Amino acid sequence: MSGGARLKGRVAVITGAAQGIGAEYARALAAEGAAVVVADIQDAEPVARAINEAGGKALAVACDVTDSESVGRMVADTLQHFGKLDILVNNAALFGKLSRKPFDQIESDEWDRMMAVNVRGAFECVKAAVPAMRRQQYGKIVNIASGTVFKGQTMLLHYVTSKGAIVAMSRSLARELGNDGIRVNTLAPGLVMSENVLNNPEWAGAASQNTVNTRAIKRDSVPEDMCGTLIYLCAPDSDFVTGQVLVVDGGAVMH
């Protein structure tokens, strides 16, 4: 694959990587030399196959991040296939297909599902991945939050709340895992025109344009916009960086 080699010899797990931004993350890390595990509850085989055909190394693994046994199997498959685990990108989340609605119209079951996937899913993956990272006294965990945490967002209370929890979780994990050589950081995208967002009428026209208007760089964001920051957080360049949030949204949020 064309690209650099900043992640040569590293093994990375990316959840929610069968499509959209997650698939772009997997391709970007593979292009930098990482062996990637493309994990998703959906069929991740096409993404892994394309990476392998391009000269990279990839393994597709079926994984439900809300199921601790499924997550355990994902880590076991990673270790069996590639021998170690250096990088975990907790990307799996509910967002692209969401319907925007006032908070008092969000059903309790929908709230619980959001927390199970977006918050507990990241927790389950970290819990399963850390023993392998501890053994080698090195690891990079990148949790995916959202710029909405820092500005508030109407009509998506359950989603924004879940991503606020990710920021808090990352900071606490960074403290707890620092002595193990494991860095934990957060990448917080703005609204990205991924496949699901493009196909969701909720984000057509004025809704997405209103977001663009809040940015210093006034254009739509595409998945590729996230990859440089992700690579930095996974690479040795950021070995002295932990507990931080990097917002990548064209300057809508400045903090």
Determine whether 22 is exposed, middle or buried from the number of CB atoms within 10 Å of its CB (0-12, 13-18, 19+).
Answer: buried
Of 33, 126, 39, give the one whose Cα is nearest residue 78: 39
Cβ distance 137 to 180 under 8 Å?
yes
d(CA 34, CA 28): 9
DSSP state, residue 63: -
**Identified catalytic residue from 25, 138, 159, 232:** 159
Task: Return all residues near 140 (Cβ < 8 A) that are at least 6 apart.
Answer: 86, 87, 88, 182, 183, 185, 233, 234, 238
Phi, psi of 165 (to 5 degrees): -65, -35
* Helix (H) or strand (E) run with residue 213 in it: helix 206-213
Distance, in Å, from the CA atom of 111 to the CA atom of 194, rounded to the nearest integer, reads 23
Q: Which residues make beta-bridge pairs with 14?
A: 38, 89
Nearest CA to 234 out of 126, 142, 146 is that of: 142
Distances (CA, A) of 12 to 79, 160, 196, 215, 252: 11, 27, 24, 31, 30
Name 30's Cβ contacts closer than 8 Å, sequence gap at least 6.
1, 3, 36, 51, 54, 56, 57, 58
Question: Is 159 annotated in the active site?
Answer: yes
Which positions are catalytic? Answer: 159
